[in-house]
Amino acid sequence: MLLRFASRVLLVCLAVLLPVGCSVTDTSGGSSTATVKESQLPAEAQQTIALIDRGGPFPYAKDGVVFGNYEKLLPEQKRGYYHEYTVKTPGSRDRGARRIVTGQGGEIYYTDDHYKSFRTVLR
């Protein structure tokens, strides 16, 4: 009886704590990242993705540089596979913490906490 109650409480806690619109998926590298629909991203992130699709021009000098994946949160790939782009943060005096990271295979990842976590962008 206690075990059944505890499992129900755990399920309710998970349902409340998981962000709406996000799910966990297994990527090719065996690591898991949450997902988010492109339409659910902040407007600035959607604008950055549109700039990437058009090939620029980009507003920040570091846009398009190689992303090293030193945190190992994205699937492991050879150096140069990933590139990062700044997502404008309103009110920030510098580049802020938000980035789009793209992979050569067409993957798009979004982070709003300067690489502490990533969400795979679903188009």
Q: Alpha helix (H) ranges present in the chain?
A: 2-17, 43-54
**Nearest in space to 78 (alpha carbons), one of 115, 105, 99, 53:** 105
Residues classed as catalytic: 84, 114
Q: Is 82 exposed, middle or buried, given 0-12, 13-18 or 19+ CB atoms closer than 10 A?
A: buried
Q: Which residues lie across from 111 on neighbouring strands?
A: 99
C-beta atoms surrounding 38 within 10 Å: 14
DSSP 90: T
